[in-house]
Structure 1
Amino acid sequence: MLDKDTLSFDPNVARAMEFFRSQEHYDVSPLIEIDGPGGVKVLAKDETGRMGLGAFKALGAPYAVARILAEAWEAKTGEVLTPARMGDADVRDFAATHTFVCASAGNHGMGVAAGARDMGAKARIHLAATVPAGFADRLKALGAEVVRSGDVYEESVAEAIADAERSGATLLADGTWEGYTEIPKWVMEGYCVIAEELRASFEASGNWPTHVYLQAGVGGLAAAMAHMIRLNWAEQPELIVVEPEAAACLQASHKAGKPTRGEGPESNMGRLDCKDASIVAWSVLERCDVRYETLTEDEGQAAADELAALGVATTPSGAAGYGALCKRAAAASAGAEPRPLVFISEGPA
């Protein structure tokens, strides 16, 4: 039985903001306006250039790496590390004794690799056969060791867990399951920075969105955004969680009232092709009054193609929220979507 503390999510967003504002490559990602279906003006949070990694996950794993090392340093020395101290030689020497292990469908591994590199630590990333070779090359360029493990994502997750147990490395996953929840909550805490950037922008402009589309794999981004929106946005939008038909694990869990697999074939929305929901993300979404949409493979690709025609290059995963907006607009009456917000969650692969 999952207890309340295990499933709780109470992020310290001020701590995350302090950390990223101290980072040389941090900047607020653009909030752009594009012409959507039926002439609707669509707000798009463009994560395609985030901190040089080209995806929102640049805010998750690097932050968790820093938190893990800071806690280990404090346990050893008694010193509470400030962001400014993290680049000092003695701290980097300490970090060099640590290895972080994860499985990835692409972008989470990039975040782990970059976070480890920036702190002076090591990273080993397990990739399933379905992950494109281009991601493996980018991981290696960040200094990570890459291991091909299994035919599908779930098999690479199992191998990463076994690797950490075998080697003593730190497992840094973005999904949660019974017995493993705390570190992924720190990953989600990093994602909350996006919602705070948006809140500041909307408070300044007064143009709050009426609908927010949140694509989901295991659900970390969607849950972090939903939590922050419900916590402190002055005007409350409708929240729509978008998954591939082939991997609708969060919708299946919602219908079942408990974490449930979303069965299906391999999806071209590869970064969203996760059959098992994060139990923490599922729990957060259950209390945030969201509804669910799914996309077919053709709908995901069409959304990416349409965004490319509008000058925003992304993948079917990155375009999934926009795809759900287009799908809904086709069935809605004119004016039903006056101010939608979508997330372009990654650049082209």
Structure 2
Amino acid sequence: MFNCQQPKALLQACPFYRQSPLTELSYLGQNILFKDESKRMGLGSFKALGGFYALARLIALALEKQTGKAVAPEEYLSEKMLAMAKTMTFVCASAGNHGLAVAAGAKIFSARARIHLAETVPESFAARLRDKGAQVVRSGTNYEASMAAAIKDAEQTGAVHLGDGSWPGYTEIPRLVMEGYTVIAEEMRQAFQQQNNWPSHVFLQAGVGGLAAAITFMIRAHWQVQPKIIIVEPELAPCLQQSTDKGEICTVSGGVSNMGRLDCKTPSLLAFDILQHQADSFVTVSEQEAVNAAAIATDLGLATTTSGAAGLAALLKSRLVNSRSLVIITEQAASEVKATG
């Protein structure tokens, strides 16, 4: 499903790429492994990998269609690639880090980006998008309305809709986004392989599930030692857990979670297809548990948000003993906004 060598090769040719830190810290006598994505490519979130990689691949695919020749990783910033990118516009809905990744990628390649935001998204985030050269359009009162607006925008203007959620008939572009996330799992695999010291449990927070599914897929396919994989969702948005229980995608109802990035009521089709078969269990964390975990992570030197610390919240709630657990700090504290996306 994913070609993990392709994003790795492309990103290694990118001057902005650096491996994110993997550290082991102690809390209340328990050693915890932290993969810190909070400074990934200067954008403050793991989503920098998916949005950047998918956008780059889409430009390359357009050029390959025109020339009939494959684009090598070292050619991605060539004059031909940049010329093709200048003819392309990418649109998406966002109230979080995906839109920032798309905007930053478009700026690097000289493409155009148009990001649809709900009215509830803070103006400070809109300003960050404009700083990356993106056009910002206010669309509707919630994330679902801005998503509908982005899809309509692409249909009417011929722009490329670069979304990170998938549904029947829309899977290839979100698959590319998820393929970008596989770099995180491969970086960790290499480190554990060298140390011969693998985690016993992996806690993966999920919104629509793209990150969790990409890493789960890579663990099952490529890791020498298999851990227990636990998928973590807010109590107010357990869409993957309930969909797995029912054996089909369903939309859940609930209030607005303070874990804004994870407050998704309907899972991604691609993520659900992977996680329902390959994850070991699904758990939820409360609003207060997420707040406490974010404070603990910050005290440990990993300043993050409630969304970024959700995996840690689930680990602390589980009260595992004699384990070597891994959590991912998915974003930096300064990037928090109050809506899903």
Q: What is the TM-score of this pair, normalised by structure 2?
A: 0.95
For 1:221, the equivalent position in structure 2 comes to 211
Whole-Å separation in 2 of the counterparts to 1:168 and 1:236: 44
For 1:26, the equivalent position in structure 2 comes to 17
- Tell me, yes or no, if structure 1 residue 273 matches structure 2 residue 273: no
For 2:250, the equivalent position in structure 1 comes to 260
Q: What are the Cα deviations for residues 251-299 of structure 1, in whole angstroms up to 9, with x where unaligned?
A: 1111110011121111111111111100110001112132111111111
For 2:324, the equivalent position in structure 1 comes to 339
Amino acid of the structure 2 residue aligned with 1:216: A
Whole-Å separation in 2 of the counterparts to 1:311 and 1:132: 26
Q: Which stretch shows the higher mean deviation, 215-224 or 153-162? A: 153-162
- Tell me, yes or no, if structure 1 residue 17 matches structure 2 residue 2: no
Structure 1 residue 34: Cα displacement = 2.0
Q: Which stretch shows the higher mean deviation, 154-163 or 48-57? A: 154-163
Structure 1 counterpart SS, 2:91: strand
Q: What are the Cα deviations for residues 99-140 of structure 1, in whole angstroms up to 9, with x where unaligned?
A: 000011311101111111111101111112333333212111
Structure 2 counterpart SS, 1:97: coil
Is the 1:55–1:347 Cα contact (8 Å) retained in structure 2? yes
The Cα RMSD (Å) is 1.2
| Residue of structure 2 aligned with 1:86, choices 69, 76, 84 | 76
Structure 1 residue 88: Cα displacement = 2.2
Is the 1:250–1:262 Cα contact (8 Å) retained in structure 2? no
Structure 1 residue 39: Cα displacement = 1.5
Question: For the structure 1 residues 299 and 156, does the alpha-carbon distance in structure 2 shift closer, same or farther, using more than 3 Å as the test?
Answer: same
Instruction: Give the 5 Å matches for 1:1-349.
Output: 10-36=1-27, 38-329=28-319, 332=320, 335-336=321-322, 338-348=323-333, 349=335
Is the 1:219–1:282 Cα contact (8 Å) retained in structure 2? yes
Structure 2 counterpart SS, 1:287: helix
Is the 2:10–2:74 Cα contact (8 Å) retained in structure 1? no
Is the 1:322–1:342 Cα contact (8 Å) retained in structure 2? yes
Amino acid of the structure 2 residue aligned with 1:248: P
Amino acid of the structure 1 residue aligned with 2:330: S
Whole-Å separation in 2 of the counterparts to 1:179 and 1:165: 14
Size of the alignment, in residue pairs? Answer: 334
Structure 1 residue 168: Cα displacement = 1.0
For 1:3, the equivalent position in structure 2 comes to none
Structure 1 residue 89: Cα displacement = 2.4
Structure 2 counterpart SS, 1:240: strand
Amino acid of the structure 2 residue aligned with 1:20: L
For 1:5, the equivalent position in structure 2 comes to none
Whole-Å separation in 1 of the counterparts to 2:53 and 2:302: 27
Is the 1:126–1:146 Cα contact (8 Å) retained in structure 2? yes
Structure 1 residue 154: Cα displacement = 1.5
After TM superposition, what 4+ stretches of structure 1 lie above 6 angstroms from structure 2? none
Is the 1:248–1:263 Cα contact (8 Å) retained in structure 2? no
Whole-Å separation in 1 of the counterparts to 2:38 and 2:52: 17
Amino acid of the structure 2 residue aligned with 1:346: E
Q: Which stretch shows the higher mean deviation, 126-135 or 268-277? A: 126-135
Structure 2 counterpart SS, 1:225: helix
Q: What is the TM-score of this pair, normalised by structure 1?
A: 0.93
Structure 1 counterpart SS, 2:52: helix
Q: Which structure 2 segments of 5+ residues have no match?
A: 336-341
Is the 1:176–1:280 Cα contact (8 Å) retained in structure 2? yes
For 2:339, the equivalent position in structure 1 comes to none
Whole-Å separation in 1 of the counterparts to 2:77 and 2:269: 34
Is the 1:153–1:274 Cα contact (8 Å) retained in structure 2? no
Whole-Å separation in 1 of the counterparts to 2:291 and 2:146: 25
Is the 2:231–2:279 Cα contact (8 Å) retained in structure 1? no
Whole-Å separation in 1 of the counterparts to 2:244 and 2:154: 31
Is the 2:35–2:327 Cα contact (8 Å) retained in structure 1? yes
Q: Which structure 1 segments of 5+ residues have no match?
A: 1-9
Identity of aligned residues (%): 51
Structure 1 residue 207: Cα displacement = 1.2
Structure 1 residue 24: Cα displacement = 0.2
Structure 1 counterpart SS, 2:14: coil
Is the 1:226–1:239 Cα contact (8 Å) retained in structure 2? yes
Structure 1 residue 33: Cα displacement = 1.7
